[in-house]
Amino acid sequence: TDEQLFFKKLDSLCTSKEIFYFLNSLEVMSDTMASGALQRISEVEVDDNGLKNPGLLENEVFRALCFQFEFESSKLSNTGLLNALQALIKLRIDPQSTLMTGLLSESEERLGRGLLAAENLCALGESLLELEGPSCATLEQIVNQMQERAIERWSPREVVMVYKILQVTGREGKQCQNLLNRLNSVTLHTVSQLSPNFASVILNSLVVLHQTQAVPLVTALCKHAVKHVPYFTDHELVNVLEAFLYFGQKVPIFTEALERHVTRYIHTMHPQTVSKVMQYCCKKMILSKPIFDAVAEGFIPNADRLTTDQIAAYIIPFGTLNYLPPSASSLFRKLETVLHTRLRHFQPHTLLNLLHSCVLIQRYPINFLPKIFSPYFLQKLQAQPPGLNRVVMSQLTQLFLTVNLECPFYEGPKLLSKYQVKACPTPQSSPDFHLFKRVKRGLLYLLKKRIYFASEVSTPYFYVVDIEIKLDEDGFVLPAAQLEEVHRRIALCVDGQNRFCAHSHNLLGEEAIKQRHLQLLGYEVVQIPFFEIESLQNTRKMADYLHKKIFPCKYGLSN
């Protein structure tokens, strides 16, 4: 009862001065109470920047507490010993001091004799990780002893500690996986009890330990994370987002929670966290206008403080997902200013990705293209991974094509032909197989013969046309193989869901620029989006739809 009253009073005190005054009034204090006092002092006097008031270490009451732990370590309870060790580490007490070496030595001796309960093992593991890092040999001993305990009765804190130790020590093999399987199974039934910190730590460990088979646990943790979004620290939120990306989780209500969080806290979030949010949206093809608008607003006043990688992470998703925010003019004006002052600081591939994303949404980096097309820059691209692979060369080619088609006033250096590619198929560029098949059947029904249209036609201009139909001067459909008397070319873009942002009718940047360029190259572009034809139940209805879409007036077939 005395200890309960002591800890209740201790928790109400908010400064070390109040704590010392309270401790001075006590006649008797157990080692558990003394270690609790050290822990409370560390809670109120230590923040992200370290110890707020180093002078407290000279306080007489504090020195008396330390004296008790230094010279009576063998008489301490396990809880008193290990809680004191944790608090003193947090207070940045010299690890080589007599006090700290004595407490560590006593802890390791009790570990060797098997005297520590599961909660004590966890406390010691946390202390050793903080003091010595993952190379500490004693961590292996802790894990071995933990395996012998009844894992089903562990508290969430104990479960989390074992995950952390397994993660940092990089243990592998059948024995380790057996332990992980037991951990995963137990954790699945306690997910609802996990704090934001514990949920984040476990998700991060599952990523690092490649637990791709733990699908039920990952799914439960990702759903549980939704309610914690407002309470995650920046670091914890990054861990959660990385887990969503690594395990391919899709939880729409998580995105909604993320939208509320980002729009509210964008001006206080760490840039690396914002970068990870944008990476999450980009990889998942999620066009969240609230998030993108908030990030654009946050970029404008803070761009000068961002790293070059963070600048790219903020901006590239706008191009990838083909979205211009309301503040687009200010956003890209600020980006241009930053590029003028810091261009040489960008890594070659980062700069290319950034400028390529800009042209996808018709923001033309004219002032910086001479650098991109220079032999020196191209040599730097080639020298750094991934080098000049097909994707990189397709980005260069598309930049060059954009200059030719959309920026005729550009008079700088051109891209040498050896760096250009004729075509570079991407996952988005290939049409949806089943959708494509249905459209071709509808066209065959409409045009009667297969000779009147060609599919997946390579053009001389980098792009591949899904379906091409040729017309003569009078509007008659010509055989696809005919080269003479072609007056009009119709390019059918069969756009499956893979060419749109997730759960959206917004075309991705790569497809938008392709259709824009095909028009500039003389094609009549007719878009056949999945959401207009997925409800058409038979070939006749498909043919009627295509008739109205391609030939809104009338058509005929040439002899």
Quick: pLDDT tens for 136-191.
Answer: 888 888 888 887 777 888 888 888 988 988 888 766 556 678 888 989 999 999 99
- Reported as a single tens digit per residue, the pLDDT across 466-511 is 999 999 998 899 999 999 999 999 999 999 999 999 999 999 999 9
- For the cut 60, the answer to whether the pLDDT of residue 285 exceeds it is yes
**Cα→Cα distances 61→11, 58, 197, Å:** 18, 9, 33
pLDDT at 554: 65
pLDDT at 175: 62
d(CA 456, CA 465): 5
d(CA 495, CA 439): 11
- Reported as a single tens digit per residue, the pLDDT across 370-424 is 999 999 999 999 999 999 999 999 999 999 999 999 998 999 999 999 999 887 6
Residue 539 is assigned to a structural domain of this protein? yes
d(CA 480, CA 175): 64
- For the cut 90, the answer to whether the pLDDT of residue 244 exceeds it is yes
50-51 and 464-471 beta bridge pairing: unpaired
Are residues 406 and 298 part of one domain? yes
Residue 519 is assigned to a structural domain of this protein? yes
Residue 365 is assigned to a structural domain of this protein? yes
pLDDT at 515: 95
Confidence class for position 210, pLDDT limits 50, 70, 90: very high
pLDDT at 559: 53
3-state secondary structure at position 70: helix
Are residues 450 and 329 part of one domain? no
Computed over every residue of the chain, the mean pLDDT equals 91
Nearest CA to 528 out of 500, 549, 551, 498 is that of: 549
- For the cut 90, the answer to whether the pLDDT of residue 293 exceeds it is yes
pLDDT at 424: 64
Range of the domain at 1: 1-115
Residue 329 is assigned to a structural domain of this protein? yes
Residue 186 is assigned to a structural domain of this protein? no
Of the three residues 115, 143, 166, the one that is the final residue of a domain is: 115
- Reported as a single tens digit per residue, the pLDDT across 78-92 is 999 999 999 999 999
Between 1 and 4, the higher pLDDT residue: 4
pLDDT at 147: 77
Between 148 and 453, the higher pLDDT residue: 453
pLDDT at 231: 96
Are residues 392 and 439 part of one domain? no
Are residues 387 and 293 part of one domain? yes
54-58, 225-229, 341-345 — which is least confidently predicted?
Answer: 54-58
d(CA 31, CA 65): 9
Are residues 463 and 417 part of one domain? no
Q: Are 367 and 337 in contact (CB under 8 A)?
A: no
pLDDT at 526: 97
> What DSSP state is assigned to residue 379?
H
Nearest CA to 120 out of 136, 142, 144 is that of: 142
Are residues 509 and 450 part of one domain? yes
Residue 70 is assigned to a structural domain of this protein? yes
Residue 350 is assigned to a structural domain of this protein? yes
Of the three residues 382, 398, 421, the one that is the final residue of a domain is: 421
Are residues 468 and 353 part of one domain? no
Nearest CA to 354 out of 330, 335, 333, 375 is that of: 335
- For the cut 70, the answer to whether the pLDDT of residue 1 exceeds it is no
- For the cut 90, the answer to whether the pLDDT of residue 365 exceeds it is yes
556-557 and 46-47 beta bridge pairing: unpaired
Of the three residues 115, 131, 149, the one that is the final residue of a domain is: 115
DSSP string, 19-48: HHHHHHT-S---HHHHHHHHHHHHHHHEET
* Nearby residues of 133 by Cβ (< 8 Å), 6 or more positions away: 168
Are residues 543 and 482 part of one domain? yes
pTM of the predicted model as reported, rounded to 2 decimal places: 0.86
Are residues 105 and 27 part of one domain? yes
114-118, 252-256, 290-294 — which is least confidently predicted?
Answer: 114-118
Share of the chain above pLDDT 90, in %: 74
d(CA 454, CA 490): 11
pLDDT at 428: 64
DSSP string, 295-360: HHHHHHHHGGGS-HHHHHHHHHHHHHTT---TTHHHHHHHHHHHHHHHGGGS-HHHHHHHHHHHHH
d(CA 41, CA 16): 6
Are residues 291 and 414 part of one domain? yes
Are residues 478 and 359 part of one domain? no
d(CA 557, CA 559): 7
DSSP string, 180-209: HHHHHHHHHTTGGG--HHHHHHHHHHHHHT
pLDDT at 425: 61
pLDDT at 171: 60
Beta-carbon count within 10 A of 537 CB: 7
Structural domain count of the chain: 3
Are residues 109 and 39 part of one domain? yes
Mean pLDDT for the stretch of residues 190-213: 94
pLDDT at 148: 79
3-state secondary structure 499-539: HECCCCCCECHHHHHHHHHHHHCCEEEEEEEHHHHCCCCCH
- Reported as a single tens digit per residue, the pLDDT across 18-51 is 999 999 888 888 999 999 999 999 999 988 788 8
Residue 149 is assigned to a structural domain of this protein? no
Share of the chain above pLDDT 70, in %: 97
